[in-house]
Structure 1
């Protein structure tokens, strides 16, 4: 890379987070990798003692997040790029998901992302430089049966990213919402996503038909996570990065198809929509 950067990557123990960490280290960047557990094991596995710091951090624990960011700044002096990657999926019908399950999903995927972002931004604002990359999803472009709650957290990530980008642009800080399609990580593995404890028979023909798809599809996803990691590093070193970036053919198609559906429906109901304006 043309210049070395310091990246902070959440959820770095597996999946995208681990691949992005490996790619950044290979590119000559410094990395603060955060994990909920197993920090020593990851240090041993990755090496790079001079350019890697592995920090134990649960994104849902705001005090722990602040301490981890302070530790990272103490070691490397700055954070050029924050990659908000930590998250997990919840497979459930909207009615089936309990309040506890939904709040836990949002605590990690949305409020956890905000905890880390708030902790990192003061140093970026002081330097008038930085880049926040929020890992969204193709499920943040359109709703999928059984993944409505999870998708809603990614819709939130898209909206937060868009609003934040406008607020921090005058301060020299960029924001990217990077939305992967389906990649051959362990996201669809039984140990990585959760299912609601409640199952409602009336949804057997909809949500019920989706319950076995992750197990059947796991390992057959079209995307290569190693290639995605290279895209993230490329974006991290781009002077004018995109605000929204679907990654993978399926993510691009999801975005296009949903936009077309929404525009078509809006056009059919345009007369009704316009009828509510005050007449001049």
Structure 2
């Protein structure tokens, strides 16, 4: 293997489960190389002690995180941004192994394993995605296992979590690819960690009928615990090679010799099973009763045609059964098949060749229901070249309604949005709202900063979703503020936004903010409202009403706090009234 040459250490890595095992090995080596590292653990001090002197510098941030708690995850990401300003690589590593027969694993056991191995990853990805999208770059590694390739005796729960992790990682990779974010699942073989030792979870109650399972588990632990051949310190070098590879889109890494052998064996097994029953399992299409094309006996020539148009064979022949030599079909029999190819580009070549084999073929076919289907397909696949080819050809046939630009914004592709807005499809308020809802900062900056769009309702959505960065941008560009911005942020528990709005704007705050914050238990927001705007909160009726809501929902601390505010207000009112009556009496 060639020596690792790192292109740049000026990157920020966010690693979960960093206090031991694989995570600790990755963190320590990252620090050795000079990277900036955010390590998470349920026990911050344990992590600091484990990292030792390597972490005694400003390149390391240890954070206490309960990955199952989404607010805890959000806070850790905010801490990372506060210290380093960005996140470049995310390593979803936290996890543990639960053993035993499925019947022996309680519902509590199974849910705990899924919480850590799967749902914690959802929490991290859901909240780091806006950060990476705004950067238009990033890399995510999900540390999985060979247990995602093959079910293992006595590990049904653990393997289920790893199968789930691989599935969510593959789907997520497709969703974020347009934003310059790369994603890879790392299927590890055996490494010398504590996963087979004290860290492995065993069922408290064994069922005698599964003694074969128990024997297999005991054998694995006795034979392999502490004797695994995999060196955890070598994993990071592999991740760096993949991360720094130009133009690489590796979806899966299989690490260790046995992992590589296993994936080959699993592939062969799948092909064997597929071939065995293919004769029966492929006869599932609905027979055509209208004399249209059938999907049976599609000639191999179709695949060369598809390959020439799309550069790959991923389109299933069932989506292309309209093309079958030597038969010729009418356009009205083809339904939407041509549009399904146009999305992959090669518009001119596609239409030219298709017209050779179809009677009555015209370019206007790819316009459906007043809109160009291929127009939308190009947006969904972020294919600007297809868009540029389609617009001049069908511009007079496509409706000028806002649906087109809305689809572009929904796709999240800034270049497509710019192209459309400059070619007769100006953004509507609906388009802006979608960008705000999806937190697409580059598109928002284009609409507000470059096009100068303004609306009093623009701030509603980021106040609802808790996007402080967008709220600040709307404020800085004077693009509008709703009369209830503070109310909305308070209702949704977004303290940072409440603080910012109270400090920088005068509008957007009514009694509703106090009522909602008290009802939902947002004590820090209540204290902020009372501190900054006591003139509103100390109105007797508001304090009383809010304290009643807090009491009804079980928030005793808020109830007491607001009750005291109300009493202070009453006393002041009584003093004022008493002074007034006394003066009147003297007169």
TM-score tier by shorter-chain length is: over 0.9
Quick check: which has more Rg, 1 or 2? 2
Q: CA deviation at 1:209?
A: 2.4
Give distance in 2, aligned partners of 1:278 and 1:137. 40
- CA deviations on 1:122-155 (whole Å, 9 max, x unpaired) are 1100010001100010111111101121011111
Aligned partner of 1:278 in structure 2 is 286
- Partner SS for 2:212: coil
Q: State the partner residue of 1:162.
A: 170
Please give the alpha-carbon distance, in whole angstroms, between the structure 2 residues aligned to 1:246 and 1:204.
32
Tell me the secondary structure at the aligned position of residue 139 of structure 2: strand
Query: Which of 219, 223, 248 lines up with 2:256 in the alignment?
Result: 248
| Equivalent of residue 131 in structure 1, options 139, 151, 158 | 139
Equivalent residue number for residue 9 of structure 1: 15
Give the counterpart of 2:234 among 227, 237, 255.
Answer: 227
For residues 219 and 65 of structure 2, the distance between their equivalents in structure 1, rounded to whole angstroms, comes to: 32
Aligned 8 A contact 1:97 1:196 in 2? yes
What's the Cα RMSD here? 1.6
Counting only pairs closer than 5 Å after superposition, residues 110-149 of structure 1 correspond to structure 2 as 110-149=118-157
1:215-272 Cα offsets, whole Å, 9 max, x none, are 3311221211111222123333334251100000111111111111121112112223
| Structure 1 runs, 4 residues or longer, greater than 6 Å off | none
2-structure distance, mates of 1:160, 1:186: 26
Classify 1:210/1:277 alpha carbon distance in 2 versus 1 (closer, same or farther; 3 Å).
Answer: farther
User: What secondary structure is seen at the aligned counterpart in 2 of 1:236?
Assistant: helix
Name the TM-score, length of structure 2 as normaliser. Answer: 0.46
* Contact map agreement 2:28 2:51 (CA 8 A) in 1: no
TM-aligned CA deviation for residue 157 of structure 1: 1.1
Question: What residue in structure 2 maps to residue 31 of structure 1?
Answer: 37
With over 3 angstroms needed to count, the CA separation of the structure-2 counterparts of 1:209 and 1:118, relative to structure 1, is: same
Residues 49 and 220 of structure 1, relative CA distance in 2, 3 Å threshold: same
Which structure has more RCO (C-alpha within 8 Å, separation ≥ 6)? 1
Distance 2:37 2:253 in 1: 23
Cα contact 1:20–1:230 (8 A) shared by 2: no
Distance 2:41 2:152 in 1: 29
Indicate if the aligned counterparts of 2:24 and 2:51 stay in contact, CA closer than 8 A. Answer: no
C-alpha distance in 2, partners of 1:238/1:165?
A: 17
Aligned residues: 279
Distance 1:236 1:22, change over 3 A: farther
Is the 2:20–2:50 Cα contact (8 Å) retained in structure 1? no
Question: Higher helix share goes to which structure?
Answer: 2
- Identify the residue that residue 197 of structure 1 maps to in structure 2: 204
Unaligned runs of 5+ in 2: 1-5, 289-587
Q: Residues 99-110 of structure 1: matches in 2 within 5 Å?
A: 99-110=107-118
CA distance in 1, matches of 2:141, 2:278: 36
Answer with 54-63 or 203-212: which moved more.
203-212
Q: In structure 2, what is the Cα distance between the partners aligned to 1:269 and 1:207? A: 35
Q: Which residue of 2 aligns with 1:21?
A: 27
> 1:39 and 1:12 mapped to 2: Cα distance?
7
Of 198, 202, 217 in structure 2, the residue corresponding to residue 210 of structure 1 is 217
